Structure 1
């Protein structure tokens, strides 16, 4: 398989409440938009995406639930922080759940947001309710070489980060749009997500991408106690590998997670919530009823 899944995550992309109001001791690693009442749901967008990518999902689910929609620092106009983003998001999100007395919230994460949901649930299993992972993998950097060592993954990640930072502005923007054209079907949606990417801090994006590529949660996810639904995609990559091969790759990466449910979309690209929300909602509805 070509490095399609690495490319896939390269640009994965209301009333804002700065997390600094909750945890002033650390630079705020995300902003939160809160709406609705009832069972808590936390929604985490992907790399260089705004929380607004979940607007339709919030409209569907947050009449009788309370949605907490994150936009991460450095993404889509939110100020960047001078600290490693992903570890700070994880710790501050754990603190946010505790400080706001959110009882085992449902967590929905897309792409990088899905990775963060898995990491949080692995490290803080008692804090997390049901997990819904939208097209994310425990070890993105290992998709081409399942037996990759930590040293190899770090080398791949460093090369990707260096290439992202070395591009001039025009090339960086063009590569963003080219990548998004493989992830989203409609031009208007591509333009919307691309605008978030252009309004993101490039150093933050490159460093977060590198951290995502070099981490490997394939064994850590065995600690997750939450029922987990994984929604994958494949149609954008059918010229590189058949559906069965891509599905098998997902199953292998999630093999250590007991009881995980996997569904593969036949009608949506990486941004499933944008390309075919009805397909996604049908799977989520059934999962939340169980």
Structure 2
């Protein structure tokens, strides 16, 4: 697939974690999550949740092929003031695949909304990376009254329209179906690692993300990508009334013609209908901003959460 300069920043990020190969062991929880409380996954078969900390609720949703452990450092920072509900999606990062991939992301959305209701989470902060950021938006446009502030990490409301703002779901379906077919195959570890390096700078992190990718179920990953490319939330963003912080990445793709300004313009165009939002671009971070530009990520998120909490009082 040939990528234009405008397409690269997002397509590379999306396609990297869509690669799969031989299964690998899932990473063990870090000490920050050692005291996590597991819930009953039978109530929501498309994901599991670990609960850490005390305080106002915070729901953390990972990106494609990543388990909830991708948020370990984020949880360590916020668990003293937030009760962190850390989501791991079925079929990603070594977790068992769901029984069915039919309506995969819609089922995740509906089950997450049910989880919020049954756990009596009062307007939780939702932090989502990549696919998780898209899911946070989808939760909010579906039940605006159920969620609190959103932190969207390098994600868009319609991935297929990143290059062409006139793209429609009908236009995107053939491309998405072709991608889904291609993702049923396996990729050698070296190739998967090389792709991971386009999205992460630290070598240990690159290795971890590659292992998670290779441990993910190909059919689940392919369907998740299909759903992302054929679901357009742009026109529904006006339903969201809570504040939204959008954090974007661009620096890894400047060799292909992207600039901070051109990439931010793509974000602003896609989020134009969102009433209360702010787009901030990392200077140096790649797609995994919570890993790649950690100090900036926390600085932006801390200030946003503090401002949002003050506004709610």
State the match for 2:296 in structure 1.
279
Pairing of 1:39-118 with structure 2 (within 5 A): 39-81=56-98, 82-83=100-101, 84-118=103-137
- Deviation per CA, 1:66-85, whole angstroms, max 9, x where unpaired? 00000101001211111332
- TM (normalized to structure 1)? 0.93
Distance apart, 1:64 and its partner CA: 1.9
8 Å Cα contact 2:123/2:146 also seen in 1: yes
State the match for 2:23 in structure 1.
none
8 Å Cα contact 2:62/2:88 also seen in 1: yes
Aligned residues: 283
Q: Whole-Å Cα distance in 2 between the matches of residues 178 and 8 of structure 1?
A: 12
8 Å Cα contact 1:19/1:30 also seen in 2: no
Distance apart, 1:282 and its partner CA: 0.3
The structure 2 residue matched to 1:17, chosen from 38, 46, 51, is 38
Structure 2 residues without counterparts, runs of 5 or longer: 19-32, 308-313
Structure 1 residues without counterparts, runs of 5 or longer: none
8 Å Cα contact 1:12/1:112 also seen in 2: no
- Deviation per CA, 1:258-278, whole angstroms, max 9, x where unpaired? 121110000210000111111
8 Å Cα contact 2:37/2:52 also seen in 1: no
Q: Aligned pair 1:248/2:265, yes or no?
A: yes
State the match for 2:26 in structure 1.
none
The structure 2 residue matched to 1:226, chosen from 236, 242, 257, is 242
Distance apart, 1:19 and its partner CA: 4.4
Distance apart, 1:160 and its partner CA: 1.2
Distance apart, 1:12 and its partner CA: 4.4
- TM (normalized to structure 2)? 0.87
Q: Aligned pair 1:197/2:213, yes or no?
A: yes
The structure 2 residue matched to 1:239, chosen from 248, 255, 264, is 255
- Deviation per CA, 1:87-132, whole angstroms, max 9, x where unpaired? 1111111010100110000000000000000000010100000000
Q: Aligned pair 1:209/2:225, yes or no?
A: yes
